């Protein structure tokens, strides 16, 4: 989750332990002090209380990049320099 947030250039406005709050990278909140978006770095989940987007780090990348989940998975693996699991299963 932390790596995906870094790719999205997310800057939290508030942090309490593993919980980050700030502007939503999915619907594009423009106020830097916004706290509508919440991400938990231990549980690898996020939720936006404004637009309703929620899920894990792959769901976040897919929603923010406006990609289908399959394409988002391939793109994220490439950005992270990791093999796509189902392409290297042999």
Please check whether residue 22 lies inside any domain of the structure: yes
CATH number at residue 72: 3.90.580.10
Residue 53: name the closest of 83, 6, 8 by CA: 8
pLDDT tens digit sequence for 48-86:
999 999 999 999 999 999 999 999 999 999 999 998 887
- State the total domains in the chain: 1
Please check whether residue 9 lies inside any domain of the structure: yes
List the domain range (segments joined by +) for residue 10.
2-81
Please check whether residue 87 lies inside any domain of the structure: no
| pLDDT value of residue 29 | 79
| pLDDT value of residue 88 | 63
Contacts of 62 (CB under 8 A, 6+ apart): 68, 69, 71, 72, 73
Please check whether residue 89 lies inside any domain of the structure: no
pTM of the model as a whole = 0.87
Average of per-residue pLDDT values in the chain: 92
């Amino acid at each position: 989750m932390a790596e995906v947030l870094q790719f999205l250039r997310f800057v939290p406005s508030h942090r309490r332990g593993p919980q980050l709050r700030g502007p939503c990278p999915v619907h594009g909140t423009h106020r830097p002090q916004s706290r509508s978006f919440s991400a938990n770095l231990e549980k690898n989940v996020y939720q936006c209380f404004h637009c309703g987007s929620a899920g894990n780090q792959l769901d976040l990348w897919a929603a923010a990049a406006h990609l289908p989940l399959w394409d988002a998975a391939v793109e994220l693996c490439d950005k992270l320099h990791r093999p796509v699991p189902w392409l290297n299963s042999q």
